[in-house]
Amino acid sequence: MKEITFLNQNADKWQQFELLITSKGGSDPDLMADLFVQLTDDLSYSKTNYPKSKTTQYLNSIAARVHQEIYKNKKEKSGRILTFWKYELPFIFKNSHKQLLYAFLIFTTAMLIGVISAAYDDTFVRLILGDSYVNMTLENIDKGDPMAVYKSMNQIDMFFGITINNIKVAFVCFALGILFSFGTGVMLLYNGIMLGAFQYFFFAKGLLLQSVLVIWIHGTLEISAIIIAGCAGLVMGNSILFPGTYSRGVSFIKGAKQGVKIVVGLIPVFITAGFFESFVTRYSQMPMWLSLTIIGISLLFIIGYFIIYPIHLNKISDNEFKRIKTL
């Protein structure tokens, strides 16, 4: 591999390392140890292929700084959770935006398939959602309360049941990425088709707006989190398919660790979505402005934290990044 190709493939990652060293992230020995392993892999490759280059000198200097941080702070554990949310997870997402886009496109394409299939086949909705759910919803529509399903359970039981199930679905969606990303893609397709058929069902009954105002109170976070879990699965699967400068085994371990961190980072999102579905969605007659406010804030959080904030963090040290690229 040419040195410029090696540099271009890894410059973003090295930039993140520099920022973490100079930020509070440097106070976390576990995180710094993980960075040190990655850096030494890159340094070893650089020493072998470009022994006298400025790239090797640069990686030597960063590795030395990380090494110092590890031993200076190896007993310090405070702030680990804050560091994870403030730096570690956003940095992972900056390098995973491509996979996030793929997951989003797969899911939205599947939604369209679900909508079109339901529109042209009257039996499709029953096939996907099941006769019992469709019949129950039709009865609720006849009674004048289409969203009564969200009022049928005790709030606490509903909260724990929904939250645990959603977290399980997310982990399954991620774990299926081990099938070279194909399993995750199938999971995204299934959930997207189901959502498309579900929304068309209400559209066909003239209840699209009401369903959106009620269901997406919790659905904005819930569906976004499923897509992000799909991103985690693609990160792991693609690490097997496209190992880059690493061996396939090392690349897989790195991808799996990143994917796990992404899914673990979704747990608070699922908890919040479960709370909304159990305690808020049942108030189906709430004012439109209130429903739109909850949906809007949820959407802004997803876009802000998982897309905009990671990009912002990586721009903090843009001058240093430019210096790296000129080495």
Q: Is the distance from CB of 295 to CB of 183 less than 8 angstroms?
A: no
Length of the chain: 327
Q: What are phi and psi of 285, to 5 degrees?
A: -100, 15
Cα–Cα separations (whole angstroms), residue 221 to 6, 85, 157, 185, 271: 38, 17, 20, 20, 10
SS3 state of residue 295 = helix
178, pLDDT greater than 90: yes
194, pLDDT greater than 60: yes
Entry pTM: 0.78
Q: What is the pLDDT of residues 266-295, one digit of tens each?
A: 999 999 999 999 999 989 889 999 999 999
Q: What is the pLDDT of residues 291-320, one digit of tens each?
A: 999 999 999 999 999 999 988 877 765 444
Angle at 7 between CA 309 and CA 83, to 5 degrees: 30
